[in-house]
Chains A and B, each alone.
Chain A
Amino acid sequence: MTEFVDTAAEAVAGVSDGATVLLGGFGNAGQPMELIDALLDSGTSDLTVVSNNAGQGDRGLALLIKERRVRKVICSFPRQSDSWHFDAAYRAGELELELVPQGNLAERLRAAGAGIGAFFTPTGYGTSLAEGKETREIEGRNYVLEHPIRGDVALIKALKADDVGNLVYRKTARNFGPVMAAAASHTVVQVAELVPSGSLDPENVITPGIYVDTVTALTPGTSQTQEAKQA
Chain B
Amino acid sequence: MSRQNSTASQMDHQPLSREDLAKLVAADIAPGSYVNLGIGQPTKVSDHLTPEQRVTLHTENGMLGMGREAHGEDIDEELINAGKIPVTELPGASYFHHADSFAMMRGGHLDVCVLGAFQVSTGGDLANWSTGAPDAIPAVGGAMDLAIGAKEVFVMMSLFAKDGTPKIVADCSYPVTGLGCVSRVYTDHGVFLIEAQDGGPRLVLREAYGIAPEELVKRFDFPVVIAG
Contacts and interface: CB of A to CB of B under 8 A. Distances in A.
A188 B220 CA distance: 57
A4 interface: no
A107 B103 contact: yes
Nearest to B61: A26
Nearest to B89: A171
A79 B176 contact: no
Contacts of A174: 62, 95-97
B101 interface: yes
B139 A102 contact: no
Given A171-B76, A231-B75, A101 B138 contact: no
Interface in B178-218: 178-179
A126 B97 contact: no
B141 A76 contact: yes
A102 B175 contact: no
B145 A172 contact: no
A179 B142 contact: no
B61 A103 contact: no
B148 interface: yes
Contacts of B145: 101-104, 123
Interface string B123-148: 00000001000001111111111001
16 contacts: A27-B80, A29-B80, A29-B84, A91-B137, A101-B143, A102-B102, A102-B145, A103-B145, A106-B98, A106-B99, A123-B106, A126-B176, A169-B95, A172-B61, A174-B62, A175-B61
The CB with the most chain B CB atoms within 10 A, among A27, A107, A174, A179, is that of A174
Interface in B59-118: 59-63, 75-80, 84, 89, 95-99, 101-103, 105-106
Given A30-B78, A106-B102, A175-B62, A76 B142 contact: yes
Given A225-B78, A231-B77, A179 B98 contact: yes
Contact of A171 (B78, B103, B106, B149): B78
Given A172-B61, A175-B97, A99 B79 contact: no
A139 interface: no
A169 B84 CA distance: 18
B158 interface: no
A89 to B, nearest CB: 11
A90 B137 contact: yes
Contact of A76 (B62, B89, B140): B140
Interface of A: 26-30, 52, 76-80, 86-87, 90-91, 97, 99-107, 109-110, 121-129, 142, 169-179, 206, 224-225, 227-229, 231
B95 A28 contact: no
Contacts of A127: 144, 175-178
A103 B102 contact: yes
Contacts of A86: 137
A172 B80 contact: yes
Contact of B102 (A107, A206, A228, A231): A107
A225 B137 CA distance: 32
B78 A228 contact: yes
B102 A126 contact: no
B101 A106 contact: yes
A179 B176 CA distance: 29
Contact of B59 (A87, A107, A172, A228): A172
B175 A29 contact: no
Contacts of B98: 26, 52, 102-103, 105-106, 175-176, 179
Given A123-B106, A179-B98, A101 B140 contact: yes
Contacts of B99: 106-107, 109-110, 178-179
A92 B109 CA distance: 42
A123 B136 CA distance: 22
Contacts of B75: 228, 231
Contacts of B59: 172
A36 B96 CA distance: 24
Contacts of B142: 76, 101-103
